[in-house]
Chain A
Amino acid sequence: MKSNLILSSAVFALALSACGEKSEVAAPADPRVEAIFVAAEPAGAISVIEARKNPAPGTGITVIGRVAGAMEPFSKDFATLVLADDTVMTCERNPGDSCPTPWDACCVDPKVLSASRLSVQVNGADGRPIDATLKGVKGLKELDQIVIQGKVAPGSNAENLIVEATGIFRKS
Chain B
Amino acid sequence: MLPFAYAIRHLLRDPVRFAQKVAGSALVVFLVLAAGSFNSGMKRVLAATGSPLNVILLGAGSEESVERSEVAVQAEVQAAAGIRGIANRLGQPAVSGEVQHMGLARLADGSEGRAVFRGITPAALEVHREVRVVAGRYPRTGEVMVGRLVHEALDADADRLAVGGTLEIEGQAFTIAGRFEAPGTVMESEIWFDRNDLMTAIKRDKLSCVVIRLESADDFKNADLFSKQRLDLELVALRESDYYGKLAAFYRPLRGMTWLTAALIGAGAVFGGLNILYAAFASRIRELATLQAIGFGRVALLVSLVQESLVSTLTGTLLAAILAILLLEGVTIPFSIGAFHLALPLPVIGAGLLTGVLLGSLGALPPALRCLRAPLPSALRSA
Q: List A residues at the B interface (Cβ < 8 Å).
A: 69-72, 75-78, 80, 82, 106, 110, 114, 117-119, 121, 129, 131, 159-160, 162
Contacts and interface: CB of A to CB of B under 8 A. Distances in A.
Given A70-B60, A76-B221, A82 B232 contact: no
A129 B229 CA distance: 10
B232 A129 contact: no
Interface in B185-236: 221, 224-225, 228-234, 236
B165 interface: no
Contacts of A159: 232
B61 interface: yes
Nearest to A129: B225
Contact of B230 (A72, A106, A110, A160): A160
B228 A76 contact: no
Contacts of A117: 231
Contacts, number: 46
A75 B237 CA distance: 11
B231 A75 contact: no
Interface of A is mostly: loop
B225 A160 contact: no
Contacts of A77: 221, 224-225
Contacts of B221: 75-78, 131
B236 to A, nearest CB: 7
B232 A75 contact: no
8 contacts: A76-B224, A78-B225, A106-B61, A110-B61, A114-B234, A119-B231, A160-B229, A160-B233
Contacts of B229: 80, 119, 121, 160, 162
A75 B60 contact: no
Contacts of A76: 221, 224
A71 B60 contact: yes
A129 B225 CA distance: 9
Contact of B231 (A71, A78, A114, A129): A114
Contacts of A71: 60, 236
Contacts of B231: 69-70, 82, 114, 117-119, 160
A118 B231 CA distance: 7
B232 A110 contact: no
A121 B233 CA distance: 17
Nearest to A159: B232
Contacts of A110: 60-61, 234
Interface string B223-264: 011001111111010000000000000000000000000000
A77 B221 CA distance: 6
